Amino acid sequence: MAKTVEGLYYSESHEWVKVEGDVAVIGITDYAQHSMGDLSYVDMPEVDDELAAGDEFGAVESVKAASDLYSPVSGTVIEVNEELEDAPELLNEDAFANWIIKVKMTDQSELEGLMDAAAYEAMCAEA
């Protein structure tokens, strides 16, 4: 069963979103890091990059796979987690404690198109 955190939003492409005012804190789910194995690299956008919901914003790579990252919301990148540049394995240690980017959202109604923890768990169970 997929490990989730209540109160977060989840995308079909296995990103999570934590809302802090008008900022979306975005990371990958425990299910995603577990299926990829030991992560060796995280590719992230630049601060001030503009993203639309569904845009590719980077990638995570492991020994066995590479997976693109997609923004669940539209907005401007205001921060990237620079710790991941030297320590991508932090995502394996705790996918929910280690975010990848923070985005100042331009349309909070996009959150309505994302899943809650129960819906995400159900989607992963069908995979």
pTM of the model: 0.96
Q: Are 11 and 24 in contact, with CB atoms under 8 Å apart?
A: no
pLDDT for the residue 35: 93
3-state secondary structure 40-80: EEEECCCCCCEECCCCEEEEEEECCCEEEEECCCCEEEEEE
Structural domain spans, the chain: 10-106
pLDDT over 70 percentage in the chain: 99
Tell the residue number behind the tokens 């980017």, with chain if given: 101
Q: Tell which CATH architecture fits domain 10-106.
A: Beta Barrel (2.40)
* In the predicted structure, residue 41 carries a pLDDT above the cut 70: yes
pLDDT digits (tens, 9 = 90+) for 49-108: 999 999 999 999 998 889 999 999 999 999 999 999 999 999 999 999 999 999 999 999
**Mean pLDDT, residues 98-124 taken together:** 97
